[in-house]
Structure formats: structure tokens, C-alpha cells
């Protein structure tokens, strides 16, 4: 709910906003209690990485692999009185020869030699006001939101580790700030365990620090004077670890500490201390395991779909108890997706795993301008039903990321009605059921052509993932589709 006593004012980039105080749910309260207990016995810090400040840079073992997983990230909030912030972190990974997706970072890469590499990337910045349980130190202030940064990185590898430099600049028109990071990381592998200590300096400009840790004159109170910290240099050190439990299952952990610049530490809204954080999680790696001849290329799946918005929630749809597409707005989506298989019928089992990349168009029927959406996800299929020998029937479930050029109208309207925030980046789910048209019509040529129905679902993780701006809610579109194998 809105804070009735909040004073509004411009945030440092010139836009207005209001702080919102939300009551903490029992689940979040329980996680915060756990976080406080763990903080007594462990150090906590910002969220850096092994080779550069990309934590998941070396998680996958080979090019062409993909991975899914989850982790829990705990950090001492930099804001006074905000305590320890728990964060559910979904792990989505893909490693190609020239591009990658690493949960909060996606980019293009080019290696001059095996020891020299340049990256061009976009990354989520894990900074901003808490989405719930706002402390008294921030009451009445305009909300500072997370931003997306464009970045350029250079890495020089040695036998002992790496030296790296990264330049990041706000690409979402949030702070309009920039940052230069210079650092080094080690790489020590013993058996199945890889340890990577690291250290880097972050040279942050005034716009970046003023946005997140400044107080405007319109936000000043007797206990919170107007203040602008200006630019400064942070220092971060930590240790990351990866344990390869099997060839495919990787256990991950990280521990780090950040010492903030003097200007930020003097801010009336900053908790003047060493900021500590810890991370733990697991990721399962999908290597391409296909029965192909040496001269064969992996098959390509092509899928086209058309759908309409629905007021039904995802679970009732999956329970076959709600299918209505008779909504007031009647907005529609059209998409084309391409997929590559990672696993096909291992040991003759009726299962497969396919990675998809889709481009989806939103027709918002004049309620707002039409827009585009990019979806990237891994999807598992199962067709081991008693009748599949006659008519192959597949059930599939996809999990991944969705980035919208503009928050879809039905999503924005639903969240506004419930006084909840939105995010362009959300989790993507894609449950489907389909049948082989070749089996239905007795055509061998259409054996690998499928017709079916599915749900295009975007959502946060119950407001518990900072990657998704702590969004609780989303949108659903029920669609029909045709998919064929090339």
C-alpha cells in the first residue's frame, strides 16, 4: 500500500515517484529470520564473479551447453535499518561460441587468443530500495529502482588466473551513471573443486552514487538532511567455489565483502559498515547428447503460435479448470521460435530436452503501442503414454527468461489494480500438450510435425527475486501452435 505520509520528489535522474511500504509476507519473514541467523556465523557481500564480475562465467564445462538451477543470495542491505536481504536467484545458463546467457548477464564474446577475450554485454544491477518492509530511513523518499547496464569487458588470462577491466553504463535511463571496474581473480582446481579468489576496484561516478545513496532537498527531514555523495571508489574481495558433484550437476557458493567509498558511507541513508554477502546454489548442465553421424548437424525445431490473453491463473489452466479467453482487452500475441535439441531419447526413453529462442509480438489493440518480446528457455518433453505408439502425444514444460520491450498491457493493468510493481524482465514458463499430425493423418512426412495448445506465462517468483524487481504476479496467454522438425 502507499505510504500516506510519504513526501514525493524527483529522483536524481529527474523523474518523480513515491516510496511504497508493503507488509512482509510470512514467507519473506521466515527467510529474513534465516538470513539473520546465517549472518551471525558467515560473512556476506555484493555479488561478484570468477573471471570478471560475472559470477557464472565458468560454470558450464563446454561451449554449446545450457543449464538450469536456483540459488539463495543473502546480502546485508546498504540502506540504514534494512538488515539482511534474502533473494531467490533463478539460474539460467547458455554458453555458445560467440554469445552467452548467465542469469543476470547476457552478451557477445570474442577471443583474440585463448588467453585474451572481449565481451559486449547487458547486465542487471543488484542495487535499489527494498521492495518490501521499507526501513524508516527511506520513508517518504522516491523509490530508487534497479537498472540495466550496457558493458564492455576485457580479460587477460594467465596460468594463475585473470586480470580484467569492465566499463558499465546505465542503459535503462535510471541513474544515467557509469562505473569502471579493475580487478584480478585466481583459479585453483583440486579434484572436483574449483576455488576462485578475486579482488576488484569499482570507480563509480557521481550520477550513479547520487541516484542510489543521495537525498534530494525535497526528501530531506530533520533526521535525514539533503546529501549528494558524489563519485568514489569501492573495493570488493571474495571467494567463489564450484564443486562438480557429477559431470552435469554443479554446486556453487560465493562469499564476498565490499568497502564503500567515503562519500557513500557518509550518506544519512547508508549503513556505514563493511557490506557482506553469501550465495549458495546448484545448476544442472545439459550437454548436447545426440545420436548423429559425423557429417550430420543437429536438427532445428521451428514453432509458430497465436494466442489471446486470459484472466485465468496458470495453475487452474494446468488443472483444466479454466480456459476463458473472453477478456475485456482481447489482446493477442504471435510468435516464432527456433529450437535446438540437447537430449533426444537417451537409452530409448520417451523424453527430450530442447533449447528455444523466440521473438513474440504483442498486439495490445490500442490500449498501448504494440511491442516485442524475446523469450529464451529450456524445455523438457515426455511422450511415454500407452497410446503414443498410435498417436504420439507430447507433454512439455519450458522454463527460462522473458524480456519485453514494453510491459504487456494485461500485465501492467493487472499489477496496477493490485498495487504491485512491474518489470520488463521476468521468468518465462511454457507448458504445452500436442499431437503428431503425421500419426493423425497417416503421413510419414508429417511424423515430426505437431499441433497443440500451450500457455505463454510471464511472472516473478512471488516477489522474492530481485532479478525480477521483486515482482509478484504476471500474465498468461493461451495459444495454439504448429511445430515441425527440420
pLDDT at 4: 36
pLDDT at 187: 86
Residues 6+ apart with CB under 8 A from 264: 78, 209, 213, 229, 232, 234, 270
Q: What percentage of the chain has pLDDT greater than the value 90?
A: 77
Write the pLDDT tens digit of every residue in 215-240. Answer: 999 999 999 999 999 999 999 999 99
Long-range contacts of 381-390 (CB under 8 A, 24+ apart): 381/351, 381/352, 381/353, 381/354, 382/350, 382/351, 383/350, 383/351, 384/349, 384/350, 384/351, 388/350, 390/439
- Grid cell digits, residue 182: 579493475
For residues 5-22, b (16+ Cβ closer than 10 Å) or e, as one string?
ebbebebbbeeeeebbbb
Higher pLDDT, 274 or 292: 274
Q: Beta strands of 16-64 (E only): which ranges?
A: 16-17
pLDDT at 425: 94
Q: How far apart are the first and last CA of the chain?
A: 52
pTM equals 0.84
pLDDT at 51: 53
Asked if pLDDT for residue 214 goes beyond 90, the answer is: yes
Write the pLDDT tens digit of every residue in 424-454. Answer: 999 999 999 999 999 999 999 999 999 999 9
SS3 (DSSP) at 64: coil
- Grid cell digits, residue 250: 554443479
pLDDT at 340: 93
Asked if pLDDT for residue 21 goes beyond 90, the answer is: no
Domains of the chain: 9-286 (2.40.160.40), 301-485 (2.40.160.20)
Which of 253-262, 275-284, 294-303, 411-420 shows the lowest per-residue confidence on average (mean pLDDT)? 294-303
Amino acid at each position: 500500500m502507499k505510504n500516506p505520509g510519504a513526501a514525493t520528489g524527483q529522483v536524481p535522474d529527474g523523474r518523480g515517484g513515491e516510496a511504497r511500504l508493503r507488509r512482509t509476507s510470512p514467507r519473506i519473514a521466515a527467510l529474513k529470520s534465516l538470513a539473520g541467523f546465517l549472518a551471525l556465523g558467515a560473512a556476506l557481500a555484493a555479488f561478484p564473479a570468477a573471471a570478471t564480475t560475472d559470477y557464472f562465467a565458468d560454470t558450464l564445462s563446454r561451449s554449446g551447453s545450457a543449464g538450469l538451477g536456483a540459488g539463495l543470495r543473502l546480502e546485508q542491505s546498504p540502506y540504514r535499518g534494512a538488515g539482511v536481504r534474502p533473494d531467490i536467484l533463478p539460474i539460467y545458463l547458455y554458453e555458445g561460441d560467440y554469445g552467452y546467457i548467465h542469469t543476470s548477464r547476457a552478451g557477445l564474446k570474442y577471443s583474440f587468443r585463448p588467453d585474451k577475450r572481449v565481451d559486449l554485454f547487458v547486465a542487471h544491477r543488484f542495487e535499489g530500495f527494498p521492495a518490501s518492509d521499507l526501513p524508516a530511513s527511506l520513508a517518504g523518499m522516491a523509490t530508487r529502482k534497479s537498472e540495466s547496464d550496457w558493458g564492455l569487458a576485457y580479460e587477460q588470462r594467465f596460468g594463475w588466473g585473470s586480470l580484467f577491466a569492465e566499463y558499465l553504463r546505465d542503459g535503462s535511463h535510471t541513474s544515467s551513471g557509469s562505473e569502471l571496474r579493475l580487478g584480478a581473480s585466481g583459479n585453483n582446481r583440486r579434484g572436483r573443486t574449483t576455488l576462485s579468489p578475486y579482488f576488484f576496484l569499482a570507480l563509480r561516478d557521481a550520477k550513479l552514487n547520487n541516484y542510489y545513496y543521495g537525498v534530494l532537498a525535497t526528501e530531506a527531514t530533520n533526521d535525514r538532511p539533503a546529501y549528494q555523495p558524489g563519485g568514489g571508489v569501492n573495493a570488493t574481495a571474495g571467494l567463489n567455489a564450484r564443486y562438480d558433484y557429477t559431470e552435469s550437476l554443479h554446486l556453487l557458493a560465493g562469499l564476498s565483502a565490499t568497502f564503500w567509498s567515503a562519500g557513500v558511507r557518509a550518506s544519512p541513508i547508508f549503513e556505514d559498515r563493511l557490506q557482506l554477502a553469501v550465495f549458495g546454489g546448484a545448476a544442472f548442465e545439459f550437454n548436447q547428447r545426440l545420436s548423429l553421424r559425423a557429417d550430420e548437424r543437429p536438427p532445428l525445431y521451428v514453432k509458430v503460435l497465436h494466442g489471446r490473453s486470459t484472466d485465468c491463473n496458470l495453475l487452474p489452466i494446468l488443472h483444466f479448470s479454466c480456459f476463458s479467453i473472453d477478456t475485456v482487452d482481447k489482446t493477442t500475441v504471435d510468435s516464432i521460435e527456433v529450437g535446438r535439441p540437447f537430449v533426444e531419447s537417451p537409452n530409448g526413453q520417451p523424453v527430450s530436452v530442447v533449447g528455444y529462442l523466440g521473438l513474440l509480438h504483442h498486439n495490445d489493440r490500442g490500449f498501448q503501442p504494440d511491442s516485442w518480446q524475446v523469450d529464451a528457455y529450456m524445455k523438457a518433453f515426455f511422450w511415454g503414454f500407452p497410446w503414443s505408439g498410435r498417436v504420439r502425444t507430447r507433454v512439455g514444460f519450458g522454463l527460462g527468461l522473458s524480456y519485453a520491450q514494453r510491459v504487456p498491457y494485461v500485465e501492467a493493468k493487472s499489477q496496477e489494480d493490485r498495487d504491485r510493481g512491474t518489470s520488463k524482465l521476468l521468468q518465462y514458463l511454457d507448458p504445452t500438450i500436442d499431437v503428431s499430425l503425421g500419426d493423425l493423418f497417416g503421413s510419414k512426412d508429417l511424423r515430426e510435425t505437431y499441433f497443440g495448445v500451450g500457455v505463454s506465462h510471464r511472472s516473478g517468483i512471488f516477489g522474492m527475486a530481485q532479478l525480477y524487481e521483486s515482482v509478484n504476479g504476471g500474465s498468461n496467454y493461451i495459444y495454439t501452435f504448429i511445430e515441425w522438425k527440420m
